[in-house]
Amino acid sequence: MDLILYFKSRQGEMVHLLKELVSRESPTQDKKAVDLCSHFLVEEFKKIGCRVTRFPQKEVGDFYLINYYGRLKNKKKKPLLILTHIDTVWPVGKLSQMPFYISGDKIYGPGALDMKAGLVMAFAAIKAMFDLDLSPQRPVSIFVNSAEETGCPEAHEIILKLARQAEYVLCLEPALPGGGLKTQRKGRLVIRLEARGKAAHAGTPEKGVNAILELMSQLEKLKKIQKEGITANVGLIGGGEKPNIVPDKAWAVIDLRFWTSAQKNKILEFFRELKPSLKGAKLKYFQESLTPPLEKTPASEKFFSQVKAMAEGLGLKLTEGKTGGGSDASIAASTGVPTLDGLGPDGDGLHAENEHLLLPSLIERTALLTELMRLL
């Protein structure tokens, strides 16, 4: 069967489901809104023979694991794990300023590309298996994260557990511009650096130790590690109480990006070895969060070649590339399981008001996902 032609004939249904999901706004911080959107989605999956497991959460939307077996006889085979997320960066009400609409072959709307289109792909692929009585090569497990945009330790723990049990992992985040898969992603380390000094009257600064000046001196040293793709962004900063007091406290939060685990270790070593510049000053640092990098490995290169060959069987050409942003694929890949990211559609405007996806890409990627479910 020509799967691309098949999904072209189902294009209206897919666009309708995407509209339904986008119209149910689901910002990460709004648990009620996210849960409403998730409930709608999982009920649709139940209609096509999927088993659904809910992971209740107090602070964020509930997580879901959706399993599909079809006519598969050996249900104990290691599954194909598909990573998705239902939360978006857009607040409730954004839809009134940034409505869902179609212009030519582009579909616009908050969260349409990142990544409700990926959820549509997962549903449409399973529905095709169900309607056409096709059997997956192995159990298909779809994890729906409700807090991907901000990161969530509870979600990360579930992803790690699922990845360790999986044979392969596919992440339906948007493709690179032009449709490339993401075989490398930067890791992210968030560090809070604190300087302590000694308060004094501004008229007698020699009696104090200026924590802000100490902090500024340390932040200047960040230039030393910004090489070979390592970047450091001082995104938040604060300190002091009043202009007539020598500040005894100052702090900064730094977002550091890196390509390899070895680079991460170099960054941590840099912070461990920092020494105060001012006599009497003290320094402390805290690791607020860590997302590992998605690194190229022999296993991931072999996996990409395998998927590329399957895509060619559909008449599709796959390329690969790297990106500086993080995703749940990096969490899964840290277990050593072969992982590919960027399986979602092509588009543009991530986290921007021109967010959109390309409809032809949605069709092609859904056909590819279905083929991977059949053959991997």
SS3 204: coil
Q: Do residues 121 and 362 make contact, with C-beta atoms less than 8 angstroms apart? A: yes
Q: Do residues 336 and 303 make contact, with C-beta atoms less than 8 angstroms apart? A: no
pLDDT for position 156: 96
* Closest to 141 (Cα-Cα) out of 185, 182, 171: 171
Average pLDDT of 343-372?
98
Q: What does DSSP say about strands 187-196 and 282-291: parallel, antiparallel, or unpaired?
A: antiparallel
Average pLDDT over all residues of the chain: 98
Average pLDDT of 26-35?
99
pLDDT > 70: percent of the chain? 100
pLDDT digits (tens, 9 = 90+) for 77-87: 999 999 999 99
pLDDT for position 237: 99
pLDDT for position 34: 99
191-to-47, 123, 212 alpha-carbon distances in Å: 45, 38, 17
- Residue ranges per structural domain of the chain: 3-185+293-375, 187-291
Does the structure show a pLDDT above 90 at 256?
yes
Does the structure show a pLDDT above 90 at 192?
yes
Q: What does DSSP say about strands 106-108 and 356-358: parallel, antiparallel, or unpaired?
A: antiparallel
Does the structure show a pLDDT above 90 at 283?
yes
Q: Do residues 308 and 137 make contact, with C-beta atoms less than 8 angstroms apart? A: no
Q: Do residues 249 and 200 make contact, with C-beta atoms less than 8 angstroms apart? A: no
Give the amino acid at 313. G
pLDDT digits (tens, 9 = 90+) for 168-184: 999 999 999 999 999 99
The reply to whether 187-291 shares the fold of 3-185+293-375 is no
pLDDT band at residue 59, thresholds of 50, 70 and 90? very high
287-to-141, 190, 241 alpha-carbon distances in Å: 32, 6, 25
Cα separation, 136 vs 127, in Å, equals 12
Contacts of 103 (CB under 8 A, 6+ apart): none
Where are the strands (E) in the chain, listed by range? Answer: 51-55, 63-68, 80-85, 101-103, 106-108, 140-145, 168-171, 181-185, 187-196, 200-201, 231-239, 245-246, 249-258, 282-291, 320-323, 339-340, 347-348, 356-358
Does the structure show a pLDDT above 90 at 265?
yes
pLDDT digits (tens, 9 = 90+) for 87-98: 999 999 999 999
The CATH number fitting domain 187-291, selected from 2.60.40.10, 3.40.1050.10, 3.40.190.10, 3.30.70.360: 3.30.70.360
pLDDT for position 1: 87
0.95 exceeded by pTM: no
Does the structure show a pLDDT above 90 at 243?
yes
The CATH number assigned to the domain with range 3-185+293-375 reads 3.40.630.10
Contacts of 208 (CB under 8 A, 6+ apart): 197, 198, 199, 200, 201, 246, 248
Angle of CA points 123, 16, 93, to nearest 5°: 105
SS3 181: strand
